[in-house]
Structure 1
Amino acid sequence: MNLLRYVFIFLLASAMSSATTVSRAGPASDEEVSQAYIYLLGRLLVTRQQQLDFQEGFKWNELIHRKPGAVDWPNPNLDVAYSEAWVAVDETSCAIVTVPEIKDRYYTVQFLNGWGETFANINERLFPNHPSGDYAVCLRGANVALPDGMRRIDLPVAASRVLARVALGDDPDRAVALQHEFKLKPTGSPKLPEIPKTPIFDLGQLPGVEAFDAATIALDSAPDINVGLEELQTRVRSIAVAVKDSAEERKRVDGVIKAHAFPEIAKAGTIIGHGVIHNGWARPSVVGEYGMDYLTRTLVNNGGIWANIKPEVLYYRGGVDAEGAELSGDHSYTLTFPKDALPARFAHYFWSVIAVDNTRFRVLPNPLNRYLLNEQTHPQYGADGSLTLYFATEKPADAPDGNWLPIPKGQKFRLTFRFYGPIDGVANGTYWPPALVKRN
């Protein structure tokens, strides 16, 4: 009797599975279209940047040393000197990364895949006994002869984006000198990947249904190694076929993207996907490593591409004041940290805050060419040991110069607060910066 019952349950489950398969073979629902688009967009934001990089002059396995501040992507980190590359390895060739000896200064060499996921860093946190020297970066399983004793880092993908960061600190000239001591070279002649030809769009105007025209090349050129998203990938591919074969379905999908996906992205952006907002500051639940949280991955790729993992840096985003109103250059604001909760308490390395626009997330032009506040702007502390930062078009009369970040008049903006080497409440998720107070 029990055997018959189990057989019946098995047959019922199989029938339900078949019914589901048949129903999913039909047109995608509005929700399925929206989720498939958001998933695909995360990859297209990376291919967009990759194409821009190579148009600019990038070559595989060659580092480009950026002049400090000369970084044109959303929410740039202006505390560091950047060096960048696209790395290709295969079964016959690794890449040798040379890291100079660096003391009393933050640095890291970060590796990301084609979806904006960080899967490796080279720095003193991860290699405390060998924080400098040569590292062999290889495709996992590759049988490549390397010098004895060379540290090897296995990558799960053949192509990766690399960013080397060196903190500018109080001696930016020394940081730039160290930056140029980072080296990158292949051990052989790896097969070089083709650059995916996908839409190059403005971040202020995301693509509509044309995103699905690039779905096949986007998915085939960089497999998503996160387990659990296979069904979503299949849905993306099926929608791509449908919009190619049917003008009516193409029109419908484009309308769904604009009516459902865009508002969902905007709404989720408020708390950075599945993050938490407190005191007007949003803290992401995940960053750099996303697992199945493709929504947050897409939002981060859109608003701060090449984000590192939480043990390296934690970002808070502030877009409203203490009353919940959007931040605007029509007003002035203060941000006050009490003596027992100064920013430096929560960062092993350094902290900083920048202001960016709400559309392209670029820093805001101003006559002083000042784009951030940190210890290097030499902020003054109050008589009680507190720290007050000021955000306003004109410098408030009571604001020390190093505590003031200029904001263009009428500009809608938001703040990004960084803690490099997060510790204490920032590391364990119990801390948020104080609320911004509107003064006029």
Structure 2
Amino acid sequence: MDTACISRFVTGLICALTFATPSLAQPSYSDQDVSDAYLYIFGRLLVASRQQLDFQEGFEWNEIVHRKPGAVDWPNPNLDVAYSEAWVAVDETSCTIVSVPEIQDRYFTVQLLNGWGETLANINERVFPNKPYGDFAVCLIGAGVDLPADITARIDLPVKTSRLLTRVALGSDWDTADTLQHQFTLRATGSPELPDLPKTPILELTALPGVEAFEAAAAALDSEPDLNPGLEPLAAAARAIGEAVKDPAERERIDEIIRERAFADFAKAGAAIGHGTVSNGWARPATVGVYNIDYLTRTLINYGGIWANIAPEVMYYRASLDGDAARLSGDNTYTLTFSADALPARFARYFWSVIAVDTERFRVLPNPQERYLLNAETNPEYEADGSLTLHFAAEKPEGVPDGNWLPTPSGSLYRLTFRFYGPLDGVSNGTFWPPAVTKVN
């Protein structure tokens, strides 16, 4: 829906809510209008839900939590890195100092996001090539805070609260990654006013919210206004429908539209990750990490891979189907073959990997081998012609090197995510696609 259409929709809707009776026979907003507003606000609710779960777990503002490798519980985790996490609060009187250790020959980044899953900043060698370590002051734009003289850089944010994630590549030396991870620290320069957590539903990916999404719209928007220009009409629409559903008859009608139309629109959009492109059975999003007016892609990525970073940091490809357009299943054996002139390492400055996750909660597949990804550290073997074949099967196929095999348990439907960190060449410019996944039996 373009901005002009959204404006006309919202103007008509607000007028109807002001002047019409609840029993209006011809509502001023269509099923599609309701679906668009639902898919918009759902993206915010996913982040608000994750925030509440974090604080239930014991998070405190401006305190960093260091995770053991693999010990994160959100959709489509990156198991190549050690994560640390925090919720940052700043205001007109206080900044938060992010202390970053000096890291050599190992990928890392500090990512800051807002409450819609939009990336606001990264701290790493790409952004600060001269000195990507030291003390960085995260501040509210315009805050007149006296900072220490030795601050490496000040990073101004348009919001008072943000989600922080650090990623340190594990590589082949996990102990060093763990040591470096624990050297990231946070401290507030003052005593910022701490916000109340949004009172929105705690969501389960296996049960999408119905009309309660609109009932929570005002709380979601009040706690984190959407700052993307062009989306104001959809925010107003979500609020207006939230008011409309206070009428029981309208509540029932809206809930039915959500379940019959919005759920279908969401499922249909998932195949291409919104406005992305599909080739060789792999979907590549049109945008990632920053979304402008593309709220649909933002919601889909928050749903299936929350905390995605921006394209200069990483590019994601996702496959749910094999080369014959059949769903990937642990009951089958598949191969993925890269030619010698198009190996994954060619397209990643830092590292590449592929994981398999289930199709309901998007978590890695449990298996006796406790292997959840393939990458350079699994030491895959190459063919005599220089090509690389990766194998996906419940049992290791005969003659296949151990490092080329990802266990995919029988009875499971799954999807693959291929990551290229530090995208290069065709991954960077969007001309490369992984080869099709080929069913062997």
User: When the two structures are superposed, what TM-score results if normalisation uses the length of structure 1?
Assistant: 0.95
Cα distance change, pair 386–140 in 1 and its aligned pair in 2 (3 A): same
The alpha carbon displacement at 1:170 in A equals 1.0
Cα distance change, pair 20–197 in 1 and its aligned pair in 2 (3 A): closer
Cα distance change, pair 387–20 in 1 and its aligned pair in 2 (3 A): closer
Structure 2 match to 1:329 = 330
Structure 2 match to 1:312 = 313
Write the distance in 2 (CA, Å) between the matches of 1:400 and 1:419: 23
The alpha carbon displacement at 1:398 in A equals 2.5
Write the distance in 1 (CA, Å) between the matches of 2:8 and 2:147: 52
* Aligned with residue 25 of structure 1, among 8, 15, 24: 15
Structure 2 match to 1:425 = 426
Measured against aligned partners, the alpha-carbon deviations of 1:256-306 in whole angstroms (never above 9, x if no partner) come to 001011111111000000000000000000000000000000000000000
Structure 2 match to 1:124 = 125
Where does structure 2 lack aligned partners over 5 or more consecutive residues?
A: 1-6, 17-26
The alpha carbon displacement at 1:407 in A equals 0.6
Cα distance change, pair 200–20 in 1 and its aligned pair in 2 (3 A): closer
Structure 1 match to 2:367 = 366
Rg larger in 1 or in 2?
A: 1
Measured against aligned partners, the alpha-carbon deviations of 1:36-56 in whole angstroms (never above 9, x if no partner) come to 100000000000000000001
SS of the aligned residue for 1:59 comes to: coil
Structure 2 match to 1:266 = 267
Cα distance change, pair 295–351 in 1 and its aligned pair in 2 (3 A): same
Write the distance in 1 (CA, Å) between the matches of 2:8 and 2:351: 56
| Equivalent position amino acid for 1:49 in 2 | R
Structure 1 match to 2:285 = 284
Where does structure 1 lack aligned partners over 5 or more consecutive residues?
A: 1-16
| Equivalent position amino acid for 2:211 in 1 | V
Give identity over the alignment, percent.
Answer: 68
Structure 2 match to 1:216 = 218
SS of the aligned residue for 2:245 comes to: helix
The alpha carbon displacement at 1:120 in A equals 0.1
Structure 1 match to 2:58 = 57
SS of the aligned residue for 1:425 comes to: helix
Structure 2 match to 1:101 = 102
Write the distance in 2 (CA, Å) between the matches of 1:144 and 1:43: 30
| Equivalent position amino acid for 1:128 in 2 | P
The range that moved more, 318-327 or 80-89, is 318-327
Structure 1 match to 2:204 = 202
The alpha carbon displacement at 1:213 in A equals 1.3
Structure 1 match to 2:388 = 387
- The reply on whether 1:79 has 2:80 as its aligned counterpart is yes
The alpha carbon displacement at 1:361 in A equals 0.5
| Equivalent position amino acid for 1:380 in 2 | E
The range that moved more, 30-39 or 140-149, is 140-149
The alpha carbon displacement at 1:119 in A equals 1.0
Cα distance change, pair 377–243 in 1 and its aligned pair in 2 (3 A): same
SS of the aligned residue for 2:409 comes to: coil
| Equivalent position amino acid for 2:185 in 1 | K
Cα distance change, pair 383–192 in 1 and its aligned pair in 2 (3 A): same
Write the distance in 2 (CA, Å) between the matches of 1:18 and 1:96: 44
Moved over 4 A (4+): 17-20
Structure 1 match to 2:350 = 349
The alpha carbon displacement at 1:410 in A equals 1.6
**Residues 38-49 of structure 1: pairs in structure 2 closer than 5 A:** 38-49=39-50
| Equivalent position amino acid for 1:224 in 2 | D
Q: How many residues are matched?
A: 423
The alpha carbon displacement at 1:22 in A equals 4.6
Measured against aligned partners, the alpha-carbon deviations of 1:186-220 in whole angstroms (never above 9, x if no partner) come to 00000001111111121011110011111111001
Measured against aligned partners, the alpha-carbon deviations of 1:350-371 in whole angstroms (never above 9, x if no partner) come to 0000000111111000001110
Structure 2 match to 1:152 = 154
